[in-house]
Structure formats: structure tokens, C-alpha cells
Amino acid sequence: MKVLKQKRIDSTNVTKNPLLLEIQGDYPGKYGGPVNINVASMTEEQKKQYYLGWQNNRFNQFVSDLIPLNRKLDDVREPECRNVVYREILPRSSVIICFHNEAWSTLLRTVHSVLRNTPSKYLEEIILVDDFSSFPHLKEPLENYVKKLPNVRIIRSQKREGLIRARLLGHREAKGEVLTYLDSHCECTEDWLRPMLQRIAENPMAVVTPVIDRVDETTFKYWTFSGPAINIGVFQWDLTFNWGPVHRERRKAIESPVDPIKSPTMAGGLFSIRKDTFSKLGTYDPGFETWGSENLEISFKIWMCGGTLEIMPCSHVGHVFRGSSPYSWPKGMSELRTNGIRLAEVWLDEYKEEYYKRLGYVLGDYGDVSERKKLKKDLNCHSFDWYLHNIYPEALWVKNVVIVGPLMNKLSGTCFYIQPDDTLAMASCSMREPLLYYALTKTGEIRIDMRCLAAYDKIIVITCSGNRGIEEWTVHQTGHILHLSSNRCLDLNQDGKVILNKCINTPSQMWSFLRLEKPQKK
Ligand code: UDP
Ligand code: MN
């Protein structure tokens, strides 16, 4: 394993406090290594803890608890990052960490990693925003612990606010010129903050994110992304966030591995922004509930209203990605949809139709958005069409769509559905699920956002490549969908599998896009 020779950038936070001292010798997870455990050999009590840890967090809390709060990570940056010359005077940042029922070890490892890797002259404070947690360890024990750390304070919401309003509480309380938000299960690495502060010092309307590395949810191994493996943030027409590759055109604009990478959107949890810029941009829509869409709202408006959104490749922070949320959603998952509709109403202009189509035009009550529309007007922002043409042209494929809707098989009456592993299955056509909404384009693609239906000898779903041969289909009046290069038709076999077959006149080869008409206003 690599031993670091480089000296710490500043140790004022570290040397004086025994809790922050470097741990000597070997320990689990050192340098970001994995911690593997054998569940079979555990005692009954340990097993109980192990399963409870997964249940409470949807990550391996048992393993996280074995790793010191202070674990040292490798310096994962590109070598060029060490030669960057930073301004001596940079704005100071408040680091705001919102949490709801976070595990002790992940929360405090986040805090420790900030203290250890941030020169104190750039760190105004760390604010922990407790969003109405119920776990006992987050009450008095947390308060007592935090008292022993420099510059950390806790603020608590009076009711469950949800992540978005919790971040706004932090915004209100923060004293720093810059605000840096982190999730409550992160690990900051060597000199992570300075590249972001520098960019903001150069341009007050710059919003920046670190490269978000992955802390494995099972072993807590630290996986880093660098060079071409760094993804940008994008969005899909069902208004979900996604990571996307940096295409050739974008890559051309990046001259060195330390250059900022323009990103159409951000994942949401980890970013830095000037406090006054965030205020000027109207922070987040206060009508948003719990979680979701706030990252797209802020991304769209940064670009549309005169700012920039970039990833700083010399700044790396690990985040524990998990498959699902452990916590309750006070209003159920419908919050996600309401947030999305508010977002579309305000920021998408005529493109909101693309989203609504994929919701089957079921909008429900999404409240009043007039204040947010006024904000957009007052800020004199660009249109969403401008955003697409200038910031995320990859999404303009949507202009070539002939029809979009669930694709139904005449024999079974069920619809195409991409499973999480990218294989195709059939599902009920009435399921309100954007993954059911295929679009047929003028160039013969059948696609869901950046993924295209393609076929060699079997049918697959791939990232659209513009390769007309394997991704080109023709929909006939008869309902046949012909795969051009193989001259075969889409078929549903007796096992319910979607296959390619010799074209014949049979209902299993007949398909139709269910047209979803916009309901007429009464
Ligand atoms: N969070 C919160 N209140 C909520 C839900 C989440 O403060 O009602 C916090 C959560 O503890 C975490 C951050 O918001 O620090 C982001 O949530 P999460 O990590 O679950 O989202 P993900 O990273 O999985 O998208
Ligand atoms: Mn998270």
C-alpha cells in the first residue's frame, strides 16, 4: 500500500486535539482499504447488530463502526493537482451537514475528515443540522462529543423538515462567505476544499462540486474516480438525475487534469456556493418536500441565471451510495412527483410537456408556484431552450420524437419494461412508471433517454451510440417493429420474453405505442 510522503497542508486543527491525532499502526480500513467480515462466524449478538445496522442505514454500519473515525485515506488526486497554485486569501466556508437518523460512525467520520483535511483558515465552522432524528446517540452523546471538537455546532429542526428545508436551515445559520454542503456519510480527502474555494473566488457565480467518489456500502472501501472515469451530472426527461460520460466535444474543452469540468446538473448532496449567490438565486423552492428535484432546480437555475456549475477534479470526497432510503417519507413517494412538477412548471418552459407525457399527465395538486416564476423573471434568466442548446445539447434528441408512450404487445396486452439489469421484461401498461415510456425517434431509435433498444442476435439496451445498424427500427402500420440490420421482427415468445423472430403475421409480433393524450381542460 502506498505510503504518503506529502506533509499535511495545515495541521492546526489536528495537532492540538487528541481526538484528531493520526492513528499509528495498522487498523481496519486504513488508506481506504476494504473491511471484510465473516458473518457466519459471528456471535448471535453480533449478527443481530449486523442486520440491524443494514436495516437502519441501508449500508453496512457494522463495518463502518469497526473503522476509526479518523481513518487516513490515500491521496487520490491526480499528481498535477499538487502543483496547482492557490490564492493565499480565499473566502472561508461553513460546512453544513444535514442528517436524519444517521449512524454515529458515518456522521462523525464525515466531521473528522473535514477537520483533518481542511486548513482552519478556510473553515469558518461545521454546522450539523439534525433533521428531527430519533436515534438516542444523536441527542446528548452527540452534543457531548461535538463539544470536544473545534468549531462544530449542532442545530436542530423542530419537526421533520426533509433534506431540502434542513439545508435551508443551515443556510440561514451559517456565518461563512461560502457554504459547503455534505451528506452525513462522506469522507473528505487531502486538500478537498481549496480547489472549490479558488473557483468561487475567481467567479462569485460559480457553483462547484468535488469529484464524488464511492465509499463502498458493504466494505467501506474508498473507490476513486479520475480522468475519463469522472462523470458529469445530467438529467433524464422523467426529471431524474443521472451520471453521464464526458463526450468528445466536452472533453476537447478540458486541457489539463486540473481543469474544472462543466456539468449540466449536480447530484445535490455535495457542493459549494457563495451564501449570497445562493440567496440571490432564491435558494431552493420552499415548496419542495423531503428529498429530490432540488438538485435539478439549483442546477438549471445556476446555468440559466448567469452562473456556472463545475466539477473540480482536484477535490475528492467519498460518499456512501446506497440502494434505497432507510428513513420514512412523511408524505410517501408522491413527494418526489410533486417536487418534479413544481420544477417543470417553473423552469422547463414548453419542455415541461416532455415530463408530463411521461407522467401520463397525472399532475395532482402541486401547490402555488407563482413566487418561483416571479423569481425566474426577476433574475432575467435564460430559457430552458437556451439551457439545452448551450449546456446540455445531448438532451435535444427529444425534439426528434415521433411518439412516446408505453409499448404494448397485442397478444399479451402488457408493455415493455427495462429491468434494473438492463434486460427486458413485460409489465402492466397502466403502471405509472417512466421506465415504461419509450420514445420512437425520426431516425428509428426506440429509446428511453440515453438508452436505446438495440439488437445483435438478441435484444439489449445500450447507451445510444448513433450506430444506425443495430439501433434502427421501423414501425409498420401492421404493428410490426422491424429491426433493420437483421431484418427480423420484435416478438414475444411463450415464456414472456422479448425476442427477435422472422416476421410473420401473428399478434405476438404486433405492438403499439399507447398514445397518451393530454386531458382537455374543462
Ligand atoms: N436527510 C435529512 N432529512 C431527510 C432526509 C435526508 O436531513 O428528511 C439527510 C440525510 O441524512 C443525508 C442527506 O440528507 O445526509 C441526503 O440524504 P440521503 O443520503 O438519504 O440521499 P442519497 O445520498 O441516498 O441520495
Ligand atoms: Mn447520501
Indicate which CATH number applies to the domain containing 362: 1.10.8.460
Ligand 1 centre distance from Cα of residue 327 (Å): 9
Q: Is residue 329 part of a domain?
A: no
Cα separation, 317 vs 187, whole angstroms? 6
Task: Specify whether 465 is located in the same domain as 487.
Answer: yes
CATH of the domain at 121: 3.90.550.10
Q: Which set of grid coordinates corresponds to residue 461?
A: 439496451
Task: Specify whether 299 is located in the same domain as 359.
Answer: no
End position of a domain, from candidates 356, 378, 395 = 395
Going by alpha carbons, the residue nearest to atom 16 of ligand 1 is 183
What DSSP string describes 174-188? --SSEEEEE-SSEEE
Task: Specify whether 143 is located in the same domain as 280.
Answer: yes
Pocket-forming residues, ligand 1, beta carbon under 6 Å? 98-100, 102, 131, 162-163, 166, 183-184, 269, 290-291, 322, 325, 327
Which numbered atom of ligand 1 lies nearest the CA of 319? 23
* Chain segment 187-209, per-residue pLDDT in tens: 999 999 999 999 999 999 999 99
Phi, psi angle pair for 457, to nearest 5°:
-90, -25
Task: Specify whether 216 is located in the same domain as 91.
Answer: yes
Task: Specify whether 365 is located in the same domain as 471.
Answer: no
Q: Is residue 2 part of a domain?
A: no
Task: Specify whether 344 is located in the same domain as 311.
Answer: no
Query: CA 480, 484, 485: angle at the middle one, nearest 5?
Result: 145
Mutation test of ligand 1: which of 64, 100, 293, 325 has the most ligand atoms closer than 8 Å to its C-beta?
Answer: 100
In this structure, which ligand is nearest to the CA of 128?
Answer: 1
Q: Which set of grid coordinates corresponds to residue 502?
A: 422472422
Q: Is residue 518 part of a domain?
A: no
Mutation test of ligand 1: which of 58, 184, 322, 324 has the most ligand atoms closer than 8 Å to its C-beta?
Answer: 184
Cα separation, 98 vs 133, whole angstroms? 11
pLDDT of residue 333: 66
Ligand 2 centre distance from Cα of residue 454 (Å): 34
Cα separation, 400 vs 242, whole angstroms? 21
| CB atoms inside a 10 Å sphere around CB 297 | 25
Domain hosting 343: range is 334-395
Q: Are 322 and 57 in contact (CB under 8 A)?
A: yes
Cα separation, 155 vs 172, whole angstroms? 11
In this structure, which ligand is nearest to the CA of 107?
Answer: 1
Going by alpha carbons, the residue nearest to atom 9 of ligand 1 is 99
Task: Specify whether 371 is located in the same domain as 418.
Answer: no
Alpha-helical (H) ranges within 160-308 are 162-173, 194-202, 248-252, 275-280, 294-304
pLDDT of residue 2: 34
Q: Is residue 521 part of a domain?
A: no
Cα separation, 342 vs 369, whole angstroms? 7
DSSP state of 293: S
Q: Which set of grid coordinates corresponds to residue 10?
A: 495545515
Task: Specify whether 381 is located in the same domain as 425.
Answer: no
Number of domains present in the structure of the chain: 3
Tell the residue number behind the cell numbers 429530490, with chain if given: 292
Q: Is residue 6 part of a domain?
A: no
Q: Is residue 356 part of a domain?
A: yes
The predicted model scores a pTM of: 0.92
pLDDT values of the chain reduced to their tens digit, one per residue, 522 residues:
333 334 444 544 555 788 998 999 999 999 999 999 999 999 999 999 999 999 999 999 999 999 999 999 999 999 999 999 999 999 999 999 999 999 999 999 999 999 999 999 999 999 999 999 999 999 999 999 999 999 999 999 999 999 999 999 999 999 999 999 999 999 999 999 999 999 999 999 999 999 999 999 999 999 999 988 999 999 999 999 999 999 888 889 888 999 999 999 999 999 999 999 999 999 999 899 888 899 999 999 999 999 999 999 999 999 999 988 898 777 666 667 899 999 999 999 999 999 998 888 888 899 999 999 999 999 999 999 999 999 999 999 999 999 988 999 999 999 988 877 778 889 898 876 777 889 999 999 999 899 999 998 788 899 898 877 899 999 999 999 999 999 999 999 999 899 999 999 999 999 998 876 666 654
Going by alpha carbons, the residue nearest to atom 19 of ligand 1 is 183
CATH of the domain at 414: 2.80.10.50
Ligand 2 centre distance from Cα of residue 332 (Å): 19
Ligand 1 centre distance from Cα of residue 163 (Å): 6
Which numbered atom of ligand 1 lies nearest the CA of 130? 7
In this structure, which ligand is nearest to the CA of 268?
Answer: 1
* Chain segment 303-354, per-residue pLDDT in tens: 999 999 999 999 999 999 998 889 877 766 666 789 999 999 999 999 999 9
Mutation test of ligand 1: which of 160, 291, 327, 336 has the most ligand atoms closer than 8 Å to its C-beta?
Answer: 291
